[in-house]
Every structure is written in structure tokens, then in C-alpha cells.
Amino acid sequence: MDMIGVLDLQGDVVEHIDHLERLGVAGIKVKEPADFTHLTGLIIPGGESTCLFRLLNIFGIREVILREFQRGLKLWGTCAGAILLAGKIIGETPCLGLIDIEIQKNAFGSQLDSFTTEASVPRVASQPIPLTFIRAPKITRAGSDVDVLLRQDDYIAAAESLDVLVTVFHPELTPSLAFHRHFALKCGLKPSMDEESSMIDPTWDSKSWTRYTRL
């Protein structure tokens, strides 16, 4: 069975799984090399990028991601996950370097400078999508083989190559399933919701993920 994994080292793991399952897509936690069996895609959620870099090495995951990527695994990094996937990090050494973007960490300031907004992303949805930025980075440059999905003011907020998707915001913290549907399609899966239905899930709220704590 093809599934999408969510890297379970830090960040919004169950929130991503909740969004995937609302689309009828199987999502599982990934924490060790054996968990990569049957994965068609992997989401690297937000967190603290330096800490995540260390944990990838401690758990022996970094080399597995690089190996599975060569075998066709699709990747999506949100916020810190986008930093880990970037080919260039301003002032730091790249971690995975699997998409030709340049990224600036903590570009908006402190946690107090987090914000919500909405924007049109035509490649992902036909209507504006709610966005949540939490201590977000900025993508400052994208290579010629990278498609810019969303440009905001002086920075890029979402981009993708053939095999990698990056967003500097957190789609898993909104009622929109649009980006998760987009990634599932990128992975060759067939979500149960069409584009219009995935725009906003009216049954979602900020505590929906807590149902996983009872499992």
C-alpha cells in the first residue's frame, strides 16, 4: 500500500496526518529507516532546523532520505522542513540540498512576529488559501528548474521541482487541505476529495489533531 510518511522527530506530525486522512490518503509516522517501506512521499514538518539536522543524523535518517529520493520518493518540507531541503541556506551549510533554492532563516523575526493571511496559488487551488506563518523563513531565490507557486512581496513562499515541494508556511494548521491534496497528487496518489472540496474542510478545527492522542 502506498503511503505518505511524516517525519516524526519534531513539529506538527499528527496535524499533517490528520489532513492526509481527511483526503483519504494513508499517513504514517516515520522515525527510523524501517519506516520508509512502501512510502511514496515524505513530509518534513516544521520545528527547529538545526535540531532537526542533528536528529536526522542521530537516527540515521539523512542518508535514508537521500537514498530513497534517488529511488523516486517525493518530498515536502514545511517551514524548517523547507530549510532542510534547500540547496543553499544563507550563512549555513545545507542539510539535504535537494531543491535549487536559497533560503533565509527566521526572516520575519521572533515567534511574536508570526501571522496569518491568505493568498491565491493557482497551481494548487482555484480560490485563495489561508496561510499560517510561524517564525518563518523566506525563499530568496529559485533555480531555473524550480517553479514558483507563490511569491509574496520580496520573497517566495512556496515552490516546487519535479520531486520536491517547499512551503515556508504551515498548511497543516489551517482548515484547507489544498496543499496536502497537491502533494498527494505529486506522489501519484488519488485523494478522495476534488479540488473544490479540499479548499476548506468545515469539520476541521485547531484541536482536530487531538483525536490521535487517544489512539
Catalytic residues: 79, 170, 172
The rounded distance, in Å, linking the Cα atoms of 177 and 172 is 8
Q: Which residues pair with 27 in a beta bridge?
A: 4
Cell numbers for 46, please give them. Answer: 516544521
**Which is it for the CA torsion 79, 84, 85, 89, positive or negative?**
positive
The rounded distance, in Å, linking the Cα atoms of 99 and 82 is 9
C-alpha closest to that of 78 among 189, 182, 211 = 182
> Do 140 and 168 touch, CB atoms closer than 8 A?
no
The rounded distance, in Å, linking the Cα atoms of 195 and 66 is 31
The rounded distance, in Å, linking the Cα atoms of 32 and 59 is 6
> Do 124 and 179 touch, CB atoms closer than 8 A?
yes
